[in-house]
Amino acid sequence: AQSVTQPDIHITVSEGASLELRCNYSYGATPYLFWYVQSPGQGLQLLLKYFSGDTLVQGIKGFEAEFKRSQSSFNLRKPSVHWSDAAEYFCAVASYNTDKLIFGTGTRLQVFP
């Protein structure tokens, strides 16, 4: 069965610092991978997605993620965090067969000025 693990429940960074949020997936074939962000009181917004091709994916708001098949990982990165990036971040996996998004438990990002 497909699953997603986000090892970090809560991360705190200073504004301007770099960020990496970890995501590991479990799936036999090539997965479809997604990162969503959820701000307080808001719905989830898609940051980026990976289906195939270039393993480094660029998304909105200056985020990028890299698919590493050998490590079953799809970590999210941003070179310089802004206070407005404080939110909860969810990694998700899907497959062509199931069409169903399986979400991780999320990582809450706190940004200090």
Residue choice 47, 87, 104, 111 for contact with other proteins (CB under 8 A) = 104
Q: How far is the CB of 10 from other proteins (least distance, A)?
A: 11
Q: How far is the CB of 43 from other proteins (least distance, A)?
A: 3
Residue type, 63: F
Tell me how crowded residue 92 is: count the other CB atoms within 10 A of its CB: 23
Question: Residues 20 to 79: which contact other proteins by CB under 8 A?
Answer: 32, 36, 41-46, 49, 51
Residue closer to other proteins, measured from CB, 15 or 49: 49
- Cα–Cα dist 86/39, whole Å: 7
Q: How far is the CB of 17 from other proteins (least distance, A)?
A: 25
Residue closer to other proteins, measured from CB, 104 or 109: 104
- Cα–Cα dist 105/90, whole Å: 7
The residues near 112 (Cβ < 8 Å, ≥ 6 apart) are: 12, 13, 14, 15
